[in-house]
Amino acid sequence: MNTTSKFLSAVPVLPAVDIAATIAFYEQQLGFTTEFQYDDYAGLRRGGAQIHLWQCSDRQLAENTSCRINVSGIEALYDEYQTQNVIHPDGALTTKPWGLNEFTALDLNGNCVIFAEQPATSNRRDRTD
Task: Give the CATH number for residue 87.
Answer: 3.10.180.10
Owning domain of residue 26 = 13-117
Q: What is the pLDDT of residue 56?
A: 96
Q: What is the pLDDT of residue 61?
A: 96
**19 vs 42: CA distance, rounded Å:** 8
Residue 31 resides in a domain = yes
Give every residue of the chain whose pLDDT is below 70, as ranges.
1, 121-129
Sign of the CA dihedral running 45, 118, 80, 69: positive
Total domains, the chain: 1
Residue 6 resides in a domain = no
Question: What does the chain come to in residues?
Answer: 129
- Identify residue 30 by its one-letter amino acid code: L
Of 113, 114, 102, 45, which is closest to residue 74 (Cα–Cα)?
102
Q: What is the pLDDT of residue 8?
A: 78
Q: What is the pLDDT of residue 121?
A: 67
pLDDT mean across residues, the chain: 92
Residue 41 resides in a domain = yes
